[in-house]
Amino acid sequence: MPNPNLAERITNDLLEGNIQNIKDVLAEVHPSEIAGILATFPPEDYQRILEALDAETASEVILELDPEHREEILGELDAEKIAEIVEEMESDDAADLLGELPEQTATTVLSKMDPEGLRDVAPLLKYPDDSAGGIMQTELVKVSDNFTIRDAINWIRLIADEIPDFHQIFVTDDGDRLLGDISLQKLILATPGSKVIDVMEPLEVTVTPYMDQEEVAKIFQKFDVLSAPVVDEEGVLLGRITADDILDVITEEASEDIMQMAGLGDTLHPIFTPTQTRIRLRTPWLLLTLVGELFIAFIIVYAFEPTLKKVAVLAAFMPAIMATGGNVGLQTTTIVIRSIGMGTINIKQILRIIFLEVRVGVTLGVICGVLAAVIGALISYNEPEVFKIVLAVFIAMVSATMATSFIGVAAPLILHRLDFDPAAASGPFLTMFNDIFGSVFYLFIAMLIFN
């Protein structure tokens, strides 16, 4: 919740060029709140406000900004200043930020960084953004397996300033291979003279650097851990991931699912995403659907014009059939996509899942079909062959819900099986498929009945 008075004070200070005042005021405010305030200012003021902050606060504010705002601001800063800010960040955040920069700029920034910061960040840059390696941080506490508990505590005293937050101490051998961990809790309880190797516990959970972040999130949820080490195939300790990183992953992945289901290429923001970008990202799906729907129009014009001329009221029920089929399909596909996303279905039960969903879909279709037939008969009671009309409506309604249930359940499962994103199965694709049943198939049935 940005504080409006605060924003006003800063505006006044900016007008009067009183940067010191801004410094004093913002010293009391949490970085995420500063980010919120910043977002209400016009772009030309960003840099001046950021200049009023020390590098550490500035780095935290930048992390809290929307990606669009961040891009805008970073575009204004020179490489030297960015390097200064990046050095203040934890390695995972620093790597993410560098990944967001244009390649040229990222290279320049890396060249300006001090060796220590570079050492932490460089190993992370080789992993994809959405992999365990991309979200891990390299700052961690590890001790050699021949340490005593006393050695370990002394070592922690030495390095505690550099490592902001840790909850476990990793024990590694000479080859840096991870052997186990000691929770801080256990460390406090242990006798100072005992060997770490006798106190440590085997690791319940480890992840590998190329593991997909969604997979990592599922492991965190399954084992209810707050932190997990990342090790390579030789067992060498590379970094650690903490639950707060996973919170972002889960939010991101859920958004991706929702966005994809709505035929949106990416997470769009209703204010910050530029209009052009929004149109560019939304148009492809729309045009794809439209072309499919115009193909439907083509079939109707050439195959069913005589039927429609003869029984014009048939057209009146097209929206009802399309909407019912569409809703049933959307419900089905949502249930399946979400179950896949949450990892709660066993893909081996694919046939059973399809059978169960289609059975539910047909039942819903019969319920809706009966209602539509009854009300349809009332609506068109003075048509000469009302029974034929409602028969066509009923058959089309049941067929449509059966077909859309089948596609709604089968398409995401098959995509998932083939390692594609199951969410891509819904939205425009499902709409088009469904509308064929709600219009072309319905008119085809009507034509058969009336001839």
**Taking the complex as a whole, how short is the minimal distance between the CB of residue 408 and its own copies, in angstroms?**
10
Handedness of CA 169, 170, 173, 176 (dihedral sign): negative
Residue type, 140: L
Among 122-130, 194-202, 206-214, 427-435, the segment contacting its own copies (CB under 8 A): 427-435
Cβ closest to its own copies, residue 93 vs residue 106: 93
- Asked if residue 431 binds its own copies (CB under 8 A), the reply is yes
Beta-carbon contacts of residue 286 (< 8 Å; ≥ 6 apart): 263, 428
Among 78-86, 170-178, 245-253, 414-422, the segment contacting its own copies (CB under 8 A): 245-253
Cβ closest to its own copies, residue 81 vs residue 240: 240
Upper half-sphere CA count for residue 80 (Cβ side, 13 Å) = 0
Which structure tokens are listed for 188? 């406090």
For its own copies, how many residues bind (rule: CB under 8 A)? 127
Among 5, 104, 275, 451, binds its own copies (CB under 8 A): 275
Residues 156-215 that bind its own copies (CB under 8 A): 156-157, 160, 165-167, 183-185, 187-189, 204
Burial 354-393 (b: 16+ CB within 10 A, else e): beebbebbbebbeebbeebbeebeebbeebeebeebbbbb
Handedness of CA 134, 135, 138, 143 (dihedral sign): negative
- 137 strand-pairing partners: 240
Alpha helix (H) ranges present in 160-242? 184-189, 196-199, 213-223
Residues 221-240 that bind its own copies (CB under 8 A): 221-226
**Taking the complex as a whole, how short is the minimal distance between the CB of residue 186 and its own copies, in angstroms?**
9
Residues 38-67 that bind its own copies (CB under 8 A): 39-40, 64, 66
Among 375, 385, 420, 448, binds its own copies (CB under 8 A): 375
**Binding characters for its own copies, 318-357, by CB under 8 A (x = yes):** xxx-xxx-xxx-xx-xxxxxxx--x-xxx--x--xx--xx
Three-state SS at 183: strand
Among 18-26, 123-131, 230-238, 423-431, the segment contacting its own copies (CB under 8 A): 423-431
Residues 402-421 that bind its own copies (CB under 8 A): 409
